[in-house]
Amino acid sequence: MTDRKNIYYATAGLLAVIIFASNFLSTELFKSGYQNFSVWFVLSIFSFSCGWLINKTLGYNHGGKVVFSVIVASAFLSVLLVSFFSDYFGLNELLVENMILYILRNITLGLMAFFGMAVCELILIQKEGKVYKNDNESISLMAANAQREARLIVEEAKLKADKLLHHSHQTVDEMIERKNVIELRLKEFIAAERELLKKYEKEKESE
């Protein structure tokens, strides 16, 4: 994982090279013709692409810190470069305005990288939102199915309970009927025994 992250930092290095290379473009972009502006536009596209890749590889938070560090370092190196080689850049006097101009160009390309990161992060968030929406729909569907199944189970349990209750009532009624029949037969048996005893006593008395 560490080797992969080291490779990811190469994109930040490429962004630093692009920002630093912008120092060698003419400061008068529109007066120099369309060729110089087209090169500046291509550098902006490259910065945007680097920001996109940094967001995909290093993440938005950590990648943003890396891009900010690249902007600061590039601006510092640009100031040193312009200061030591002012004749090469055609600057007769090292005015503060000239320094600010070069720093602003570096910051502009750095902001293009931040813009690429923001667009990439926005697309990722939209994709995650769609995934979460699909997951929520799936969960809602599963919950609805679970509720339906629960209702069916409850209704089936109620039917079984009603059947058991009805069967138990029938069993109790049958037991009560049997008890009444047995009691009736016992009474009849006891009454018959009494009649026999009475007859037996009468016969004994007659003797």
What are the pLDDT digits (tens) for 139-166?
Answer: 878 878 888 888 888 888 888 888 888 8
- Residues in CB range of 189: below 8 A, 6 or more apart: none
What does the DSSP 8-state code read for residue 31?
A: T
74 contacts 23 by C-beta, under 8 angstroms? no
- State the Cα–Cα distance between residues 18 and 115, nearest whole angstrom: 16
Read off the pLDDT of each residue in 86-112 and give the average, rounded to a whole number.
72
pLDDT in tens, 1-23: 444 567 778 888 888 888 877 77
pLDDT in tens, 113-134: 889 888 988 888 888 877 777 7
pLDDT at residue 30 greater than cutoff 50: no
* CB-based contact 44:112 (threshold 8 Å): yes
Q: What is the pLDDT of residue 57?
A: 85
The residue that leads in pLDDT, 39 or 155, is 155
